[in-house]
């Protein structure tokens, strides 16, 4: 009977403890999402105490997440001032666009040389998902994040056959860094740039294994996109107003 009583008092389904690595990953993903989508404004202070409350995590996971985001270029660190969301500027936007062009040029060339039928099918599937997401966006602006996810998947699918995990990972980071500017432009201007024909032309050139045409179309696509975002950002980082988003 004593054993039965003790058993009755025990939790029927105890929750397993959350591993530190899991807490760090959750904090990192949440913080990264808020920075990339503009929820945390460029230049915002990132105080440890405030973020612990915001993301329900301890100081160690938050610090580890910040260090990882600093390495990715989404967070800056200033002496005596702590962490801040990285500011934006036309200069950085143009540098990002040029770097994306160079990285994707290598990726496309290698992917076309190495890619198989499965790689081609992945591109076609990613394209159709992107087109469907863009159609849904016209009917419901609240699906913008889903469209951006499909947009990211399409560009990733194109270079996925390059054979380099590091190149693909770096291209993803650059895409998200540029994504901050797309979110900012959309918030300020309600921008809905129609890129359907550009994406289709890129896909067709890649599937035809025409490296020169695919690289040119992709480069034009990225540089044209950067040009369309110029008016939504300051000319230099010095012109970015300080944001108090996470200061208190």
The 10s digit of each residue's pLDDT in 150-169 is: 999 999 999 999 999 999 99
| Architecture of the domain defined by 2-87 | Orthogonal Bundle (1.10)
Q: Report how far Cα 57 is from the mean position of its chain's Cα atoms.
A: 22
- By the 8 A CB rule, do 101 and 171 touch? no
Q: What are 170-194's pLDDT values in tens digits?
A: 999 999 899 888 888 776 655 556 7
pLDDT at 37: 86
DSSP state of 45: B
Give the mean model confidence (pLDDT) for residues 18-36: 81
pLDDT at 188: 61
pLDDT at 24: 83
Least confident range from 23-27, 39-43, 64-68, 135-139: namely 23-27
CA distances in angstroms from 103 to 108, 171, 212, listed in the order given: 9, 7, 15
What is 90-232's CATH number?
1.20.120.530
More confident residue, 234 or 207: 207
What is the number of residues in the chain?
A: 248
Residue limits of CATH 1.10.10.10 in the chain? 2-87
pLDDT at 83: 93
Query: pLDDT band at residue 51, thresholds of 50, 70 and 90?
Result: very high
Q: Is 77 strand, coil or helix?
A: strand
- By the 8 A CB rule, do 74 and 141 touch? no
Question: pLDDT exceeding 90 applies to what percent of the chain?
Answer: 58
What is the pTM assigned to this prediction?
A: 0.77
Residue 94 in this model has a pLDDT that exceeds 70:
yes
Residue limits of CATH 1.20.120.530 in the chain? 90-232
| Nearest one of 203, 36, 41 to 115, comparing CA atoms | 203
């Amino acid at each position: 009977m004593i054993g039965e009583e003790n058993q009755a008092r025990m939790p029927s389904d105890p929750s397993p403890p959350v591993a530190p690595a899991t807490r760090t990953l959750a904090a990192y993903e949440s913080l990264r999402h808020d920075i990339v989508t503009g929820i945390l404004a460029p230049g915002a202070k990132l105080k440890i105490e405030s973020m612990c409350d915001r993301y329900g995590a301890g100081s160690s996971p938050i610090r580890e997440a910040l260090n990882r985001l600093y390495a990715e270029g989404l967070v800056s660190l200033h002496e005596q001032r702590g962490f801040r969301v990285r500011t934006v500027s036309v200069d950085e936007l143009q540098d990002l666009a040029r770097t994306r062009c160079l990285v994707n040029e290598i990726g496309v060339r290698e992917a076309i040389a190495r890619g198989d039928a499965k790689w081609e099918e992945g591109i076609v599937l990613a394209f159709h998902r992107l087109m469907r997401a863009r159609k849904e966006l016209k009917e419901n602006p609240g699906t913008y994040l889903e469209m951006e996810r499909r947009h990211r998947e399409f560009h990733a699918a194109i270079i996925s056959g390059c054979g380099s995990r590091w190149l693909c990972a770096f291209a993803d980071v650059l895409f998200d860094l540029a994504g901050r500017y797309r979110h900012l432009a959309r918030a300020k201007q309600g921008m809905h740039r129609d890129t359907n024909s550009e994406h289709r032309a890129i896909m067709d050139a890649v599937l035809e294994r025409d490296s020169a045409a695919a690289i040119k179309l992709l480069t034009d696509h990225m540089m044209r996109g950067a040009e369309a975002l110029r008016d939504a950002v300051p000319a230099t980082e010095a012109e970015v107003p300080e944001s108090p988003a996470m200061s208190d």
